Chain A
Amino acid sequence: MAHAHAVKRYSGLMDWLTTVDHKKIGILYLIAGGFFFLIGGLEAILIRIQLWQPLNDFISETTYNELLTMHGTTMIFLAAMPILFALMNAIVPLQIGARDVAFPFLNALGFWTFFFGGLLLNISWFVGSVPDAGWTSYLPLASPTYSDGHGVDFYVIGLQIAGIGTLIGGINFLVTIINMRAPGMSFMRMPMFTWAIFITSALILFAFPALTVGLAALMFDRLFAANFFEVGNGGNAVLWEHIFWIFGHPEVYILILPAFGVISEVISTFSRKRLFGYSSMVFATVLIGFLGFMVWAHHMFTTGLGPVANALFSIATMLIAVPTGIKIFNWLFTMWGGSIRFTAANLFGIGFIPTFVMGGVTGVMLAAAPADYQYHDSYFVVAHFHYVIVGGLVLGIFAGLHYWWPKMFGRMLNEGLGKLTFWTFYIGFHLTFFVQHFLGLLGMPRRIYTYQDNLGFNNMNLISTIGAILMGVGTIIFLVNIVVTAMRPKDAPNDPWEDGRTLEWTISSPAPEYNFAQTPLVRGYDAYWKEKMDGNSGMTPAEPIGPIHMPSPSILPLFMSIGLFIAGFGFMFSNYIIGAVGLLVTFGCMFLRSIIDDHGFHIEPEELEDKGVKA
Chain B
Amino acid sequence: MSAHSHIDGQLPHEPEKATLEGRNKVLGFWLFLGGETVLFGTLFAAFLALRDQVGEGNPTANELFQLPIVAIATFILLTSSLTSVFAIQALHRNHVKPMIVWLIVTVALGAGFLGLEIYEFYHYVHEGHGFTTSAFSSSFYTLVGFHGAHVAFGVAWISILIAQTLRKGLNLVTAPKLYVAGLYWHFIDVVWVFIFTVVYLMGKVG
On A, residues with C-beta under 8 Å from B are: 2-3, 102-103, 167, 170-172, 174-175, 178-180, 205-210, 212-214, 216-217, 220-221, 224-228, 230, 233-236, 239, 242-243, 246, 549, 591, 594-595, 597, 599-600
Contact = CB atoms under 8 A, between A and B. Distances in A.
B36 interface: yes
B135 interface: yes
25 contacts: A2-B7, A175-B27, A180-B20, A205-B31, A208-B35, A212-B39, A213-B39, A221-B138, A225-B132, A226-B138, A226-B142, A227-B135, A228-B50, A228-B138, A228-B139, A233-B53, A234-B134, A235-B135, A235-B138, A242-B45, A243-B45, A594-B161, A594-B164, A595-B164, A600-B2
A216 B146 CA distance: 11
B201 interface: no
Nearest to A167: B35
A236 B50 contact: yes
Given A217-B46, A234-B50, A549-B1, A102 B24 contact: yes
Interface in B99-158: 131-139, 142, 157
Contacts of B135: 227-228, 230, 233-236
B197 interface: no
B43 interface: yes
B34 interface: yes
A209 B42 contact: yes
A226 B133 CA distance: 8
B142 A214 contact: no
Contacts of B133: 227
A433 B133 CA distance: 47
B49 interface: yes
Contacts of B132: 224-227
Contacts of B39: 209-210, 212-213
Contacts of B163: 595
Contacts of B28: 102-103, 171-172, 174-175
Most B CB within 10 A of own CB, among A170, A214, A217: A217
B151 to A, nearest CB: 16
A415 B80 CA distance: 64
Contacts of A591: 160
Contacts, number: 122
Contacts of A207: 38
A-B pairs, top 9 by smallest CB distance, nearest first, are: A234-B53, A234-B135, A226-B138, A209-B39, A213-B42, A209-B38, A102-B24, A227-B135, A225-B132
A210 B50 contact: no
Given A209-B36, A210-B38, A213-B46, A227 B4 contact: no
A2 B50 contact: no
B131 A226 contact: yes
A303 to B, nearest CB: 14
B55 interface: yes
- The interface residues of chain A, by DSSP majority, are classed as helix
Interface residues of B, number: 44
Contacts of B23: 179
Contacts of B2: 549, 600
B27 A216 contact: no
B177 interface: yes
A236 B36 CA distance: 24
B54 interface: yes
Contacts of A180: 20, 24
Interface-central residue, A207, A220, A599, by most chain B CB under 10 Å: A220
B46 A239 contact: yes
Contacts of A599: 3
Contacts of A225: 131-132
A246 B157 CA distance: 32
Contacts of B194: none
Contact of A234 (B27, B54, B168): B54
B75 interface: no
A100 to B, nearest CB: 10
A567 B20 CA distance: 35
Contacts of B43: 213
Contacts of B36: 209
B163 to A, nearest CB: 8
A197 to B, nearest CB: 15
Which of A3, A207, A209 has most chain B Cβ within 10 Å? A209
A180 B23 CA distance: 10
Nearest to B143: A213
A594 B53 contact: no
A2, A180, A210: most-surrounded residue (chain B CB, <10 A): A210
A171 B31 contact: yes
Contact of A2 (B4, B38, B137): B4
Nearest to A2: B4
Contacts of B173: 597
Given A179-B20, A179-B27, A234 B55 contact: yes
A227 B31 contact: no
A220 B146 CA distance: 13
Contact of A235 (B4, B45, B50, B142): B50
Given A180-B24, A594-B161, 12 more contacts: A174-B28, A207-B38, A209-B35, A210-B39, A214-B42, A217-B142, A221-B138, A224-B132, A227-B133, A234-B135, A594-B157, A594-B177
